[in-house]
Every structure is written in C-alpha cells, then in structure tokens.
Chains A and B, each alone.
Chain A
Amino acid sequence: MQTNKLLITAGVGLAIIASLNGAAIAFGYEHAQFLSRPWLSTWFAGYSAFLAIAAAGLIRHRKTAEASAAPVEPKFKRYFRRMLTATLLYVMAIIGSHFLLQLTDQVLIVAAITLLPITPCYLMLRAIQQLVKEMDELQLRIFMESCLFALAWTAMGCITIGFFQFYKVLPNFSIFWVFSAICMLFGIGSAMAHRRYQ
C-alpha cells in the first residue's frame, strides 16, 4: 500500500512539474525547459498523470477484501509486460534520435530518425489492441466509456482553445498537448467508469 501511495505522489508530482513546464514552453518561456523538448514534456505529463490515476484506481480496487484475494488476471500481466517493453524502447528511441539528429541535417535522414520512436508507439497500440480483444463485456464497456469521455472532453478543450486563439485571447501553441490530454482524460474516465460499476 505504501509503495502505491509513493507511486501516486511521484506520478502526480511529475505530471504537475511537466505540465507546468510544457505550458511555460508553449507560452514562450524558452528558459523554462525541464526536458529538452516541449512535446517530450507534454507526453511525459500525460503519461505520468495516467499512471498516477491508474495507481489510484488500483488502490481503490484493492481496498475490497475479495479483490485483495483475487489474483491479477493474466491478460493484464501480459499487457503491463508489453507496455513496459514498448515504453522502454520508446524512451531509448527518443534519447537515441535526439543525439542522432545532432549529427546530420539532411532532410530525408532527419525524417527517418524523427520517425524512429513511432515503432515503439505501434507496439503500445498493439498491446492495447491485444488487451481489448481479451476483455470481457463489462471491461469492454468501461474501456469504451473511458474512450468516449476522453474524446468528448478533448474535443471540448480543443474547440474552446481554438475559439480563444481565433479571438487572440490565447497565442497559437504546439498541439502536442492533445495526446497528453487524451491519455489523462482516458485515465480520469476510466476511474469514473470503474467507480460506477463497483
């Protein structure tokens, strides 16, 4: 239990720091870079927020006596293993491409190196697809409700910010935050849907 609380605290803390950093960079504070690139920062924010919410959900789930006795389903073990592998490969590809991009300025090679982290992203998508295929009907329903929640609120956020930008209330900034927003909102939607069916 203590480890889970530590994970939540660390996840939320990292998410807040990275979100603030991403926002600072988006609004033009060049010296506020906590990580080398804004998109890396926003991805990191979304992903760590998602992990924190998932850990919080896990703690709530484990609070019931029968849930504590129930083993973790093999499909979730497989999913975590696949996702962890893909995430490690992604981080390695990000760091590797960052260094490789400094060695060349030829457009085609730069494009190829920039696409390097996409392969682990595909592995992440495969891990999610394989998990969804193995879900039972309630798990699938919770997944769908979480996806719809993330889609609806990301669309609301995008259009709201779009209006603000159109009328010059907000400056134009990178759209890399959208993916982070989807991840974070999916986590929130998932926690809400799990709570609904508890």
Chain B
Amino acid sequence: MKNNIKVKRAELNLTQQDLADQLAVSRQTVNAIEKGKYDPSLPIAFKLANVFQCAIEDLFQPE
C-alpha cells in the first residue's frame, strides 16, 4: 500500500512524535507507516482518518 500520510502530516504541521502521541503508538510505527514499510491495522487506519479528517481511501491507495 502507498500512502500520503507524510504530506497530510506536513499540512497540519505535526511531527511524527505528535502524530504518534495522537494515535497512541510509537514514533517508529508512524515512520514505518509513512515509508510504506508497514501497513497499519484497521483501528489505526481509522484513527489516522480521524486525525486528518478524511476517508481511509484518501490516505491509502493500493499499489
């Protein structure tokens, strides 16, 4: 899966640590998701969509 979380995060002027705190995960997890090294579970995908106020499909696209 590819995603545009890094762009969305920059738009909100959040650091990886800020986003990690909001998702209740580690900064390493946010970093791995942003780089496409790790596909998150549905609960985290929903949390991400909630933080960025968009649909999950707007964040993640199949490669």
Interface residues of chain A, those whose CB is within 8 Å of chain B, are: 61, 66-67, 69-71, 73, 136-139, 141, 194, 196-198
Contact = CB atoms under 8 A, between A and B. Distances in A.
A66 B35 CA distance: 14
Contacts of A198: 31-32, 35, 37
Contact of B29 (A61, A69, A71, A139): A139
A73 B24 CA distance: 11
8 contacts: A66-B16, A66-B31, A137-B41, A138-B29, A141-B38, A196-B37, A197-B32, A197-B38
B40 A137 contact: yes
Nearest to B33: A138
A129 to B, nearest CB: 19
B37 A139 contact: no
A143 to B, nearest CB: 12
B27 A197 contact: no
A84 to B, nearest CB: 21
Interface in B24-63: 24-29, 31-32, 35, 37-38, 40-41, 44
Interface of B: 15-17, 24-29, 31-32, 35, 37-38, 40-41, 44
Contact of B27 (A70, A141, A194, A196): A70
A66 B15 contact: yes
A137 B15 CA distance: 20
Contact of B25 (A71, A136, A194, A196): A136
A194 B26 CA distance: 13
Contacts of A197: 28, 32, 37-38
Q: Which 3 A-B pairs have the closest CB atoms?
A: A138-B29, A136-B25, A197-B32
B17 A138 contact: no
Contact of B24 (A67, A136, A138, A141): A136
A139 B17 contact: no
Given A66-B31, A70-B17, A198-B32, A136 B37 contact: no
